[in-house]
Chain A
Amino acid sequence: MGDQSQSNRSNPRIESRRQGSIKKKSEFEFCKVCNLNHNQGLRHKPEHASRNRFWCVFCDTDVDELTSSFACANAINHLASVNHLKNLKQFSWKYGGSMDQLEAFIVSDADVAKWEKKCVTLQKEPVLLSEERRKEVSNSGISEASNACVLPYYSTSSLPSETCSGANSFHSKDFSGSCHALSCSGRQWSSDGYSGTEEVPKDGTMLSRFEGLPDPSAITLGYSENVGSNVPSEAPPPWLTDGLYIHYEGISGDLVPLLNKSGKSQKLNPKRVGAAWAERRKIELEMEKRGEIVRKDYDANWLPNFGGVWQSGTRKESRKEFEREKQKLFKVEVEPEIPTKIQPCVSKRMKMDDNGGHMCG
């Protein structure tokens, strides 16, 4: 009994140790897809979407599409390679699986030849292809190989079930614990080169994730106003056709470019110093440049706006006062000097004495 109780007591310790070791083990793991160590465990999702590539689990390699001339070119070449077939056979032998299923994960030489032929014709043709042509290319050469798409973290698979546990991990070579290879059986790669994102279909098939931008799709115009009037026909835009357009016509052609150019000055504070002067001057300079007005020499007596040191009053007044003083100086210089006769000073007393003496006599 005592032994049992002791064993019971020790069990939690053993379990905790196991958990601890498991935790320690799962603390940092290496993800081959992302090529980095992480401690996110099952939460880690390898980043494929942004890197335009796919991971071939049979060969344990990354197939990059950045250097490919055509969409999925590198992937197709990889799936058609001898090395891939060899690895695939090895994988199948190791983890079980019938040889019939191997064809689903390779691209035959015939398909590759067809695809290459289409690529060559596409290169010669104009850049803008219709969707149909693109569909042809994608469907003809690679319908078989659509089965061979692999995705890192989707767990469903059509491979032998004993290898699949539904886990999402990609970062161990122990395939018994995780499922990597996914079958796209029967499903062709979409014509636009991109389909599905996070979805996991119920039948376990996987959608292709060969990243490529979706093709632009044509839209139908929802409005029918001003049919025929558009930018190429140089028609006015609709917001100018409701009365405003008439006003627009009334503006003289000369001022329109000036007004357009003064758009920059509209960003400046209209209350800044000398704003009115600046606007006027800009228009004048513009007209001078275009030769509409002749640059005239302004008055030689022109003076700028200046607030004097000893001024009292407005700046205009100080300028006027200066001009007045200037004119006075000028007048003084211009007027000729009249010769004055110098006479001796005669005082009042002397005058009175003269008069008094006269009266006494």
Chain B
Amino acid sequence: MSFVLTTLTKKHEVDTIIRDTLEKVLVLRFGRPTDRACLVLDDILSKSAWDVSKFATVALVDIDSEEIQVYLKYFDITLIPSTVFFFNAHHMKMDSGSADHTKWIGAFHKKQDFIDVVEAIYRGAMKGKLIVKCPLPPERIPKYQLLYKGV
């Protein structure tokens, strides 16, 4: 069963979903619908949304929107797709062995990988942890180069 995911284009909408999603992991995908990697990720997210609906909410954020630019700067989003996780309006980090623990950059290999990641975040959040360890093996974690301020 696939879901048609909500696409957010305004800051107010992003604020509202962050503030009103309680006791569930909020998954925000920052990207654009025309990007190839984003399409792959969106496919996995839409197929998994129902499976994780009891403990997670998934939404897409359009980075081309003007109002969203402040979030791109705030979240330091330089590569897409970037997925940021929240729990009770608190940002959740994940240590996946990559340079950036604040977000998931890239797509997932399969649906189950995404579900495992969300589950790990949920479990960590319920225990009071703001940073959790990635449950996936290194070969299934996308690799990227993170540059400091474009350098």
- The reply to whether A278 and B88 contact each other, CB–CB distance below 8 Å, is yes
Could you tell me how many residues of chain A have their Cβ less than 8 Å away from some Cβ of chain B? 28
Q: Report which of A281, A285, A298 forms a contact with B15, defined as CB distance below 8 A.
A: A298
Q: B119-131, CB under 8 A of A: which get 1 and which 0?
A: 0000011111110
Q: Which residues of A contact B12 (CB under 8 A)?
A: 297, 300
Within the complex, the shortest CB–CB distance from B130 to chain A, in Å, comes to 6
Return chain B residues, CB-CB under 8 Å to A278.
Answer: 22-23, 88
Q: How far is the CA of A315 from the CA of B87 in the complex (A)?
A: 15
With most chain B CB atoms within 10 A of its CB, the pick from A274, A278, A315, A326 is A274
Which residues of B does A touch, CB under 8 Å? Answer: 11-12, 15, 18-20, 22-23, 70, 73-76, 86-93, 100-102, 124-130, 146, 148
Interface SS of chain B: helix, strand, loop or mixed? mixed
* Residues in A whose Cβ lies below 8 Å from that of B75: 306
- When A and B form their complex, what is the total count of cross-chain residue pairs whose Cβ atoms lie within 8 Å? 83
Cβ contacts A to B, 25 pairs, < 8 Å: A268-B23, A268-B126, A271-B128, A272-B88, A273-B90, A273-B130, A274-B88, A275-B88, A277-B88, A277-B90, A281-B19, A281-B88, A285-B20, A298-B15, A298-B19, A300-B12, A304-B89, A304-B90, A305-B89, A305-B91, A306-B74, A307-B130, A309-B100, A309-B101, A309-B146
Of the candidates A273, A285, A304, the one having the most CB atoms from chain B within 10 angstroms of its own CB is A273
CB of B148 within 8 A of CB of A304, answer no
Chain B residues within an 8 Å CB radius of A315: 91
9 smallest beta-carbon distances between A and B, as pairs: A274-B88, A271-B128, A274-B90, A273-B125, A309-B76, A278-B88, A306-B91, A278-B22, A305-B90
Any B CB within 8 A of the CB of A223: no
